[in-house]
Every structure is written in C-alpha cells, then in structure tokens.
Amino acid sequence: MPTLISDLDLPTVTTDLSLSEAERREQLHQLAQDHWIAKVELGYVITTHDDCAAMLRDRKWFSALSLIAQTQNYESEEWSSRPQRPSILSTEGDDHQRIRRIVSPAFTPKSADRLRPFMRSVVNDLLDPICEVGRSEFVADVCEPYPIPIICELLGAPREDWELFSRLAVDIFKIFNGNLAEDAPAIIAASNEMDAYMLDLIAERRSAPRDDLLSDLISAEQEGDRLSTDELLSMANALLLAGTDTTRNQLACAIALFAQHPEQFELMRSNRDLTSQAVEEVMRYLGAVRGTGRYASEEIIYRDLIFPQGTLIFPNFVAANHDAQKFEEPLAFDITREGGTPHLTFGSGIHYCLGAFLARAELQEAFSVIADRLPNLRLDGTVIWKPLQNGIWGPERLPIAFDSGY
C-alpha cells in the first residue's frame, strides 16, 4: 500500500545562507547519503542522482517555472498583466514536443562547432587588455560579456547591440533570484524592451532572411507546422536568457576552481586532450545551475509514495552531483576522473538543456584559450559569491592574477 508523502517522517532542510560554498557542498553530499528526499519550505528536495534523473524524466512532473510568482507569494497587477506566452522552458506535453521538434535541428553539435572560431576570437579579444597587465576582475572583464556576442551571432542580432542584450539579460534573469517583490519592476521593464527589440528583428528577417538562427526559426517547419510570431518571440527570449547567464556563471565557477586548484589547471594546460573532461568535471563539481523545480500535474506514485497533485519537488543538482552512489570520491575535484562525469547540471528528461552542445563548445574554447594565455593563474583576493539561493549561481567578483604577456 503506497504511503502519502506527508505521512512520512522526513527531516526538514533549510538553506543556511551563512554557509560557504564548500560547506554547503559537504552538507548536500551528506544529505544525499542519508535521505533521498527531505522536506523544504515549499515541498520536497530530491537529493540522489538516480532519483533526480528518474523524476525529471517522468513527464507527469511539470516545470515549476510558471509557478515562480506563486511560490514566492508575489502578486501585482503589473506582473499578472504581462503578456503570457508559452515558453519552451515551461510548456509540457504535446505543446512542448512540438516546439522542441521545430527548434532542435538548429542545436546540433555541428551547428555549435561552426561557431568555435568565433568563440575563440571573442575570448581572445576579451583577454587582450588583461593579458598586458597580468591581473583581472574576471567576472566583469571576461565572463559577463563572453556569451552575449555568441548568442547575438547565433540569433543574427547586430554587434552593436551586445551591450543592450547583456543589460537586459541581467535584469530578466532576476526572476530566478527569489526576490520578485523587489525585482519585478526591473524584470518587466527589461522584458518589454526585449519584446519590442525582437519584434523588429523578426519583422526584418521575415522580409529579408539571412544565414542566422532567427531566419532558420522563421522558416523552420515540421510537416507544415511553423512557429507563430508569439512563439518566435518567446523562443528568441528563452535562448537569450537560458544561454547567457548560465554560461557566464559557469565560466566564472570554472576559473575560480582552477585558481583554487592550480595543479588541475596545470594538468589541463599540459594535456589538452583533457579539456572536454575538464568542462564536465567543473560542471559536476561546481555547476552554475544548482537545481530546478517541478510540480505534480496529477497524483503521482513514486517509490511507493503518493505525491498529491500540486506537490512541489526540487531536484537538487549539487546533491546529485556529489552522490557517493554515482561518483567515487565525490568531494574531490579531479579532471582525470575515470568513468566519466554524468552530471545533472544540464538537467534531464524533456527539458534537458537544448543548448548543451553550444554551452560545452563555449566552455571548451574558453578553457583552451585561457590555458594558453593565463599561465600561473591564481587568486588575487577574495572570491565573492552570489547568494546561495540564486537559481543561476557563481562568483560575483573573481580577482585573479597570472603571468602577463601571453
């Protein structure tokens, strides 16, 4: 007889925001050893790799993105009257499958590889000024700007709009910071600005298609089915959002880690075949996306437990990526790890990151150029981390030093 989840005597986990990043990792690693599920304020946290993956693959669990205001008890006229467009990130079932099928052909390894020379030139341009001086606040100098030209290039937005995109992405991404009461006006203003911009760009490409993703998405067709203007707008926004803050934080996490583990950086420098593995290990050990949320679209029975309709769960990627059942010595950062690193930082199931090939290529190219040009990489002050409750997370400030002139 299955048991109702609320009848189970589970421990309650709170996020102690005073913990350091390393203390939090240890805490979550321990939690995954002791309990595959625990209570949190709004529902249940899922801690083990296998359970996170299994629940994310079960289509009855829907993305909780659409409930973000509700989970923060936030309500306002301005917020509820925003245009409600179906986004790939939050639609489910046939609607999701349809959008995903139309856009997937644009996100193959081949299309990511096409951008590799451009990625290298963007990193090199960003490194030129700091390599002269041998030190940098790496978040502002390199990580923040890096993904924007790439998304613009991919979408087909002109170079002169890089800064606009960067600013709008920062504001729109505040939606994941758990503080809508304060951030909603900035999020709404940035979203409106982005919509107006994208509508113009869509109209331009409709009348004169080019060799870019937006033109591809406009003409993309599966068995006579095309994306509507609203869907195109929503897709372009989703890509800009999902593809910028994630990548910039992941790169900053990586460089902080390499500066703290110089022997691992040297290993990669001396053996470039390790670059792809280094990307995977960085994403396992210090992933920029620390978890996600789902709700039960109907009553769900899992592991002989009944989850009533509406139950919220939070698959925790940090816990899953340090699950001792899945990884040997999970608390060690080791880019030569054997057996691969099947981390969950790109998620799992139908919402698995659409841009995973692109993100991997961006990180691999950045690692490779950085390995060439920042020898003797080290910390040059204290790393300041974003608050642990941020959905997309990494260093706020990353002061580094290295040998100049390369």
Nearer to ligand HEM, 9 or 94 (CB): 94
Rg (CA), the chain: 21
Alpha helices (H) along 115-161: 116-133, 138, 147-155
**Considering the complex, what minimum distance in angstroms separates the CB of residue 66 from ligand HEM?**
11
Contacts of 405 (CB under 8 A, 6+ apart): 131, 132, 134
Task: Report the C-alpha gap between 353 and 356 in whole angstroms.
Answer: 5
Structure tokens at 354: 């659409």
Hey, which residues does 140 pair with through a beta bridge?
none
Nearer to ligand HEM, 190 or 354 (CB): 354
Nearer to ligand HEM, 149 or 243 (CB): 243
**Considering the complex, what minimum distance in angstroms separates the CB of residue 149 from ligand HEM?**
13
Contacts of 316 (CB under 8 A, 6+ apart): 28, 45, 46, 47, 52, 290, 291
CB 112 within 8 A of CB 357: yes
Nearer to ligand HEM, 359 or 400 (CB): 359
Task: Report the C-alpha gap between 140 and 134 in whole angstroms.
Answer: 15
Hey, which residues does 62 pair with through a beta bridge?
295
Nearer to ligand HEM, 190 or 217 (CB): 217
**Considering the complex, what minimum distance in angstroms separates the CB of residue 238 from ligand HEM?**
5
Q: Is 240 left (phi over 0), alpha (psi -120 to 50) or beta?
A: alpha
**Considering the complex, what minimum distance in angstroms separates the CB of residue 91 from ligand HEM?**
8
**Considering the complex, what minimum distance in angstroms separates the CB of residue 253 from ligand HEM?**
9
Nearer to ligand HEM, 38 or 239 (CB): 239
**Considering the complex, what minimum distance in angstroms separates the CB of residue 2 from ligand HEM?**
26
**Considering the complex, what minimum distance in angstroms separates the CB of residue 352 from ligand HEM?**
6
Nearer to ligand HEM, 5 or 286 (CB): 286
Hey, which residues does 385 pair with through a beta bridge?
395
The CB density around residue 129, as the number of other CB atoms within 10 Å, is 10
The letter for the amino acid at 341 is T
Closest CB to ligand HEM: residue number: 355
For residue 112, the number of C-alpha atoms closer than 13 Å in the C-beta half-sphere is: 17
The DSSP 8-state label assigned to residue 38 in this structure reads E
Contact residues toward ligand HEM (CB under 6 A) are 63, 88-89, 100, 151, 238-239, 242-243, 246-247, 250, 288-289, 292, 345-347, 351, 353-355, 358-359
**Considering the complex, what minimum distance in angstroms separates the CB of residue 133 from ligand HEM?**
28
Nearer to ligand HEM, 333 or 378 (CB): 333
